[in-house]
């Protein structure tokens, strides 16, 4: 069942086209990464999903409710963490979460339990009596997440939940999101790619308001090539490699310290087959010492740059 369903969503700010016929859906229990360069329309799309603003055309359903017509029901089923985590600096953490729980109409018998639960879950118990204004960025982020979680929504929409955090905090937040993915459907926007590789099952890359790519992460990362560094005459190695069954193309790669007869290759294979054993067997038979033989998957980073590359040219034009 699709928890989030978006069809042909378009948003103009005046004459500026921010989101251009975006369609995607997120299934129950998925953690989906929503990627794109700054200004690609991620936040706008998310704001439309949270009912904060409305689309110019197209429609979106969250938890089966239309964001335009049934905005109240949508908001009841949705936890949202905005990018800058705006909080009231003058309230205490505990006080704030109770206020939010009331506002989100958490049942009064459940309220204390829910607040205790999110305090624990987001690891903010030690600062529960502190004023939010005195908290560090990392704690503020967690308070924001606790707020998003407090009414136990089936869907979480997190806008750059790790921006501005140090690596340790990023890791912690990601672990938390991964845990949350077990009971919640999560749509997570970011432009930090290793994060996505770590937690998301699926990615949607958006560029200039348009969806550039969407697929399962495992599918995207299928492309691979073999990297080889060997101390041998280059021509002979090439000839040898061409004899290996399944090799599609061989590229020579310049090597920094290639002075003493070392040469490097990038080998593409049919169907992304792993030919490392076959290659090493051949090379060893010739008695050539191998410095490196590696299967390299295509990284999300490469893909992202490739997909969003058009941006640079459009700026130039």
Count other Cβ atoms within 10 Å, centred on residue 224.
Answer: 14
Full DSSP string of 103-167? HTT--HHHHHHHHHHHHHHTT-GGGTTSBGGGS-HHHHHHHHHHHHHTT--SEEEEESTTTT--H
Minimum distance from CB of 118 to other proteins (Å)?
Answer: 13
Measured from the CB atom, is 72 or 285 closer to other proteins?
Answer: 72
Q: Which residue stretch of 115-123, 228-236, 240-248, 307-315 sits at the interface with other proteins (rule: CB under 8 A)?
A: 115-123
Q: Which residues, at least 6 apart from 109, have a Cβ–Cβ distance to it below 8 Å?
A: none
Pairing of strands 210-216, 202-207: antiparallel
Q: Are 215 and 202 in contact (CB under 8 A)?
A: yes
Interface mask toward other proteins for 44-73; x: CB under 8 A = ---x--xxxxx-----------------xx
Minimum distance from CB of 297 to other proteins (Å)?
Answer: 24
Give, rounded to a whole angstrom, the gap between the first and last alpha carbons of the chain.
Answer: 43
Minimum distance from CB of 141 to other proteins (Å)?
Answer: 9
Distance CA(141)–CA(52), nearest Å, equals 20
Measured from the CB atom, is 132 or 193 closer to other proteins?
Answer: 132
**280 sits near other proteins (criterion: CB under 8 A):** no
List the structure tokens of 72: 């109240």
Q: Rg of the Cα trace of the chain?
A: 25
Q: Which of 8, 120, 166, 236 binds other proteins (CB under 8 A)?
A: 166
Measured from the CB atom, is 47 or 202 closer to other proteins?
Answer: 47
| Largest separation between any pair of C-alpha atoms in the chain | 78
List the structure tokens of 276: 């490392």
Residues 118-137 that bind other proteins (CB under 8 A): 123, 126, 129-131, 133-134, 136-137
Minimum distance from CB of 86 to other proteins (Å)?
Answer: 4
Measured from the CB atom, is 22 or 101 closer to other proteins?
Answer: 101
Interface mask toward other proteins for 169-188; x: CB under 8 A = x-xx--x---x---------
Contact residues toward other proteins (CB under 8 A) are 47, 50-54, 72-73, 75-76, 78, 80, 82, 84, 86-92, 94-95, 98-100, 102-105, 108, 111-112, 115-116, 123, 126, 129-131, 133-134, 136-139, 147, 165-166, 168-169, 171-172, 175, 179
């Amino acid at each position: 069942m699709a928890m989030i369903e978006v069809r042909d969503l378009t948003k103009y700010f005046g004459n500026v086209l921010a989101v251009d016929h975006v369609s995607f859906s997120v299934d129950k229990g998925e953690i989906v990464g929503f990627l794109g360069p700054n200004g690609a329309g991620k936040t706008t799309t998310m704001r439309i999903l949270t009912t904060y603003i409305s689309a110019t055309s197209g429609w979106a359903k969250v938890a089966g409710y239309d964001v335009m017509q049934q905005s109240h029901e949508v908001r009841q089923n949705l936890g949202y963490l905005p990018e800058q985590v705006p909080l009231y600096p003058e309230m205490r953490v505990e006080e704030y979460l109770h206020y939010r729980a009331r506002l989100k109409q958490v049942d009064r018998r459940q309220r204390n339990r829910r607040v205790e639960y999110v305090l624990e879950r987001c690891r903010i118990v030690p600062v529960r009596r502190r004023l939010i204004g005195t908290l560090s960025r990392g704690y503020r982020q967690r308070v924001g997440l606790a707020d998003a979680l407090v009414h136990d929504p089936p869907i979480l929409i997190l806008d750059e939940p790790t921006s501005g955090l140090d690596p340790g905090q990023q890791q912690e937040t990601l672990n938390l999101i991964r845990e949350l993915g077990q009971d919640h459907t999560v749509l997570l926007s970011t432009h930090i790619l290793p994060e996505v590789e770590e937690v998301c099952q699926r990615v949607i890359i958006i560029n200039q308001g348009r969806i550039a790519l969407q697929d399962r992460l495992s599918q995207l990362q299928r492309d691979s090539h073999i990297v080889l560094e060997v101390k041998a005459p280059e021509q002979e190695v090439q000839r040898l490699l061409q004899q290996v069954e399944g090799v599609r193309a061989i590229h020579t790669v310049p090597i920094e310290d290639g002075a003493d007869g070392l040469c490097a290759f990038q080998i593409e294979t049919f169907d992304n087959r792993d030919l490392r054993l076959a290659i090493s067997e051949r090379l060893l038979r010739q008695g050539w010492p191998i410095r490196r033989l590696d299967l390299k998957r295509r990284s999300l980073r490469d893909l992202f740059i490739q997909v969003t590359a058009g941006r640079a040219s459009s700026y130039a034009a």
